[in-house]
Amino acid sequence: MIDRRTFLKISTLVTLGAAGGRELAAGLEAIDPAALPAAGAAGAAKRWALVIDVAKCLETPDCDRCIAACNRGHNVPRIDDDRHEVKWIWKEPFEQAFPDQENPWLDDKLKSAPVLTLCNHCDNPPCVRVCPTKATFRRPDGIVDMDLHRCIGCRYCMVACPYGSRSFNWMNPRPHIPRIDPEYPTRTKGVVEKCTFCVERLDKGQAPLCAAACPAGALVFGDLSDDTSEVRKRLKSRFALQRKAALGTKPMVFYLI
Amino acid sequence: MLEKALTGKPRYWVWIACLAAAAGAGVFTWAYQLSSDSESTGLGRDVPWGAFIANYTFMVGVAASAVMVVLPYYLHDYKRFGRITVLGEFIAVAAVAVAILFIMADLGQPQRALNLALHPTPGSPFFWNMVLLNGYLLLNLALGWLGLDAERNHIPASKWVRIVSIFSIPWAVSIHTLTSFVYAGLIAHPFWNTAIMGPRFLASAFAAGPALLILLCMLVRRVSRFDPGREAIQKVATIVCYAMIVDIFFILMEFFSAFYGGSAEHTASLRYLWIGLDGHRMMVPLMWTSAVLGVSGVVILLVPALRRTEGWLALACGAIFIATWIDKGMGLIVGGFAVSPMGRINDYVPTLSEIIISIGIYAAGALILTVLYKIAVAVKEAEIPQAPSDQRAEVLAAPLRPETELREMGRV
């Protein structure tokens, strides 16, 4: 738990930071349609996916613009206690994001390299299967979404997710949101939440915040069902890993190595 | 019949008051947990379930075990269980109530619990648990109550009651199978993702539930004039013994698959529980306590001279009950979460708030059980002619009449 004083300090810092970042974010908004060539016209893609160019991302290991943009745009609370924190997109050391890729002779630098992790929007999602109220569901375009008003807070989806991609609001999140964006709902204590691939932006023909915020173009979002899409091109050009692919969940976040 | 629960000796009312107070403390703590802005449990993103779900899992098993007296009585016409069938059914009622309360206490948004019914999702084991548990609660309450009412009025129970009681047998098996499905289908946790989970749940349930029934029968005999019957208790003890042996066998099967196969993920949870993993040894003493209690319980029950001695029998039943409670409660849950999806090792210790709520829920269950048992015992006591105590001792000491003689007497 953080006390009031620390909280105020952090929130002031974050607010100052955000003010500086906003102009940048506004600039990125403008290029959104370009980032989404396939979806803009058709309106609905058949299969959304995210391709993360890990090599490119690691060129600037300290950059966290995607994370900051997501947190700010979705009112993700900032909770320092790692048992209770809420995360949509965040970084994990390579060996923890890919525990099945480990070997004792893996280079230490790669072992601890920060890799972006988020909901995989699986084609075969265990979380959707176990939810007793259909509060989490798979859309026809493949996105695993949440109805935050229907969730009863049983946390079965968290238990079923093999990626640790789901967060429960163990505490009232509102006091922990550095700067509330009135455009996006805040959540309440006792519900589960996670990345939604920015469904609210996709519906307007815009790319997800993380992909839009990446200055290096390391995050590529697009439609897998369209073989001319940028994601398909990237997947053809390089070798890609999926997290715990052997489990058969068919994750739709790909990591170019 | 309910009026029989409203008269009692002072000790009865003191007991009721104590349980009500404990349940009240639980409700109060739960209300605080819900309304406060912060988190008062020991849970977190890597250990999202804890004491509540552990106890829920265990108590569904206790509830299902009523089938172990219902089945021999209704299906195989084993008369000696006729006296205790209602006691088994009432344990089921209280145990299911406890299980449902634990689920409610665990929910982040309990006021939305009806969404389970408003948006039925047959693909989720939790949905089936909700349907089957509530059905089983009503079924056992109805069967116990109607059976007791018939006994009070000296008439045989209606034919349809017998038909429904046979229906309750597969129902009991399915509630606990479905509880195992909550875990057995999760690829995220190799420790749970195993086909032995269902059989293991049933075996440990048929050990723990009947063990509790024996202890309660002994208690009933002490505090009332109703004697559930020595022969019946001995038969239940045999069931406890073999069910526990089967349970231990199933647990050992898991060790073989995990360690001979050598899967790192599969062995990690077992290592964490039984020998410690990377210095995390919190559960090790608890698991070995469970093993020692379970095995000694079986040994006591296997020796006829000990099994027939009331003190030893009570000891064995208590040991087996606690052993399965550790193994299928905290052992199962904490073991499953020992290694997070990111490969981190997690410990979990329930907080005071979780413990108070858990005690409160068990107190509520004990309250339900006390009231139901009070009624059952009052009905059964009314059947026993008032006799001076030395005569009663004589009656109890007399050898049991053989089945054929009873049949001639029209008692069967």
Rounded distance between C-alpha atoms, residue B213 and residue B164, angstroms: 22
A2-14: average pLDDT: 54
Element of type H or E holding B110: none
Ordered structural domains, chain A, with CATH: 4-256 (3.30.70.20)
A135 at B interface, C-beta within 8 A: yes
Structure tokens at B332: 């199962």
Cβ-contact A36, A206 below 8 angstroms? yes
| Contact: B130, A154; criterion CB under 8 Å | no
pLDDT of A130 strictly over 80 = yes
DSSP B282: T
Q: Which residues does chain A have within 8 Å of residue B187's beta carbon, measured at their own beta carbons? A: 126, 162, 247-249
**Whole-number pLDDT of residue A73:** 95
Q: Domain segments of chain B: what residues? A: 16-383
ipTM: 0.88
- CA A155, chain centre distance (Å): 19
**Residue A231 in this model has a pLDDT that exceeds 90:** yes
- Judged against a pLDDT cut of 70, whether residue A41 lies above it is answered with no
Q: Do A160 and B127 touch (CB under 8 A)?
A: no
Task: Inspect the interface and report whether the beta carbons of B112 and A158 lie closer than 8 Å.
Answer: no
Per-residue pLDDT reduced to its tens digit, B12-61: 999 999 999 999 999 999 999 999 988 889 999 999 999 999 999 999 99
What does the pLDDT read at residue B386?
63
Asked whether the beta carbons of residue B46 and residue A83 sit closer than 8 angstroms, the reply is yes
Q: Using the 8-state DSSP alphabet, how is residue B298 labeled? A: H
Q: What is the DSSP letter of B119?
A: S
d(CA B366, CA A6): 46
pLDDT surpassing 50 at residue A1: no
Average pLDDT, chain A: 86
Question: What is d(CA A180, CA A192) in angstroms, rounded to the nearest whole number?
Answer: 19
How many residue contacts between A and B have a Cβ separation below 8 Å?
A: 129
**Residue A170's closest chain B neighbor by CA?**
B39
Contact across the interface for A159 and B44, Cβ inside 8 Å: no
SS3 content of chain B, % helix, strand, coil (to 5): 75, 0, 25
Alpha-helical segments (H) within B65-196 = 67-70, 85-106, 115-118, 125-152, 159-184
> B272: distance to nearest CA of chain A, Å?
18
Low-confidence ranges of chain B (pLDDT < 70): 386-412
Which of A83, A161, A167 has the CB atom closest to B188's CB atom?
Answer: A161
Please state, in angstroms and rounded to a whole number, the distance separating the CA atoms of residues A52 and A255: 5
pLDDT of A157 over the 50 cut: yes
The answer to whether the CB atoms of B119 and A247 lie below 8 A apart is: no
Cβ contacts of residue B408 below 8 Å, gap of 6+? none
Of B38, B113, B125, the CB nearest to A152: B113
pLDDT surpassing 60 at residue A38:
no
pLDDT at B80: 87
- Angle at which helices B51-64 and B85-106 cross, to 10°: 160
Do A160 and B46 lie within an 8 Å CB cutoff? Answer: no
What pLDDT is recorded for position B12?
Answer: 94
Q: Which of A82, A131, A171 sits opposite B38 (nearest CB)?
A: A171
Q: Amino acid letter at A219?
A: L
**Residue of A254, A256, A255, A252 whose CA lies nearest to A45:** A252
pLDDT value of position B76: 86
- Chain B residues bordering chain A (beta-carbon distance below 8 Å): 34, 37-39, 41, 43-46, 48-49, 103, 106-110, 112-113, 115-116, 118-119, 121, 123-127, 130, 182, 185-189, 340-344
pLDDT score at B75: 84
Q: Please tell me whether residue B412 adopts helix, strand or coil conformation.
A: coil
Residue B157: the pLDDT is: 82
Q: Which residues of B177-188 are buried (b: 16+ CB within 10 A; e: fewer)?
A: bbbbbbbbebbb
pLDDT digits (tens, 9 = 90+) for A9-31: 555 555 444 444 444 444 344 33
Residue B333's closest chain A neighbor by CA?
A159
Cα angle vertex A235, ends A230, A240, to 5°? 140
Tell which of A95, A147, A152 to mutate to test the B interface (max B CBs under 10 Å): A152
Mean pLDDT of A222-239: 94
Number of helices followed by number of strands (H, E) in chain B:
17, 0
- Which superfamily does B16-383 belong to? Formate dehydrogenase/DMSO reductase domain (1.20.1630.10)
> How far are the Cα atoms of A91, A126, A146, B200 from residue B119, in angstroms, in the given order?
35, 18, 14, 31
Specify the amino acid at residue B391.
Answer: Q
